Copies of this chain bind each other. A is one copy, B any other.
């Protein structure tokens, strides 16, 4: 049994529990930082762990091209290569190869594309993706799917969803790593019945968890929230539910409210590199001149190492002079912010206070008045 899942508490549709994997336990709802190329950008695994992160995401596409699975294999897998001893979820690479390939290079067999790093011809289909994820040795693998274009007409969304189902079946059939959980990914664009059809067929195949793909792809937020409301209630209650590529703090809370357990997104790390730091009062843009001589921390109550030590003024100085230490200290803060938010979410679900917390958070976070302190 590569994955166990248990729900400890529920507050309306919101659930709180844990996912147990061979390499450790994850408190859910959980946010997974993205470590695309075997590193959560700018920070060490110790700093990731100290932020409260229990699982990270690795990118099959990037890792298979650089450094390549031969090199990661020599280290005994991705965990040993990057020295992260906790659980790792790998995406399938489907999204990246799909976005690189010309339409005619996407066939029933898989996707042919050229490496953006050295121009080499590469082919990736369900079997290749599973083989790579097996070599990476991730704790949770994702099926290789086709990302449906947004917006997509009904017929296009349907054809794409059906192909993703056939690919999911091929992934299921070749997946033989008993130490690795495998998640299915429901597609179907923004058509409720297609989403339901996709989900039901995946449940029929039996996966260790179920994800929603093809959301947060540029659609209005209301459309994503509507799909969540329509589909999540039909996702198996006894398996982890994963909303891929989400997201903003407000979207995490919307997902939790709908009954989602797992999230991943580059936002906290990418925004940190740009000097955008999250606070309960909204995003603080550190490069702005208003912070020039502000000796206060980014967030007065934040217990992260960045806020405990450094002023906004100092951080702004690092960003504006191009010191790498700036993105790094910013990343530490943002990871702590996201993990602190998820810890609050779990606590509030347990005490049946999630709905009030959700509303309070939105009112403060979207007030547009981040504390200038």
Nearest-neighbour CB distance to chain B for A370, whole angstroms, equals 21
The chain B residue sitting closest to A273, CB to CB, is B324
Q: How far is the CB of A291 from chain B (nearest CB, A)?
A: 11
Q: How far is the CB of A151 from chain B (nearest CB, A)?
A: 34
Say yes or no: B37 contacts A309, CB within 8 Å.
no
Q: Residue among A67, A309, A313, A325 with the most chain B CB within 10 A?
A: A325
Q: If the complex has contacts A82-B314, A83-B309, are A37 and B75 also in contact, measured as CB distance less than 8 A?
A: no
A39 to B75, alpha carbons, bound, how many Å?
Answer: 34
| B323 and A41 contacting across the interface, CB-CB below 8 Å | yes
| Main SS class of interface, A | loop
Query: Could you say which residues of chain B place their CB within 8 Å of the CB of A295?
Result: 74-75
Interface centre among A41, A66, A83, A324 (most CB of B within 10 A): A324
| Docked complex Cα distance between A329 and B83 (Å) | 13
CB contact between A317 and one of B71, B83, B317, B327 (< 8 Å): that residue? B71
Q: Which of B66, B311, B313 contacts A320 (CB 8 A)?
A: B66
Task: Assess whether A75 is in contact with B325, with CB atoms less than 8 Å apart.
Answer: no
C-beta contact mask, A31-71 vs B, less than 8 Å → 1, else 0?
Answer: 00000011101111000000000000000000000110011
**How far, in Å, is A246 (CB) from chain B's closest CB?**
24
Q: Are B37 and A323 in contact (CB under 8 A)?
A: yes
Q: A328 is contacted by which of B66, B316, B324 (Cβ under 8 Å)? A: B324
B328 touches A83 (CB 8 A): no
User: Could you jot down 28 A-B contacts, CB within 8 Å?
Assistant: A37-B321, A37-B323, A38-B317, A38-B318, A39-B318, A39-B323, A41-B325, A42-B324, A42-B325, A44-B325, A44-B328, A44-B329, A66-B317, A66-B320, A67-B292, A67-B313, A67-B317, A70-B293, A71-B292, A74-B313, A75-B311, A81-B311, A81-B314, A82-B314, A83-B310, A324-B327, A324-B328, A328-B328
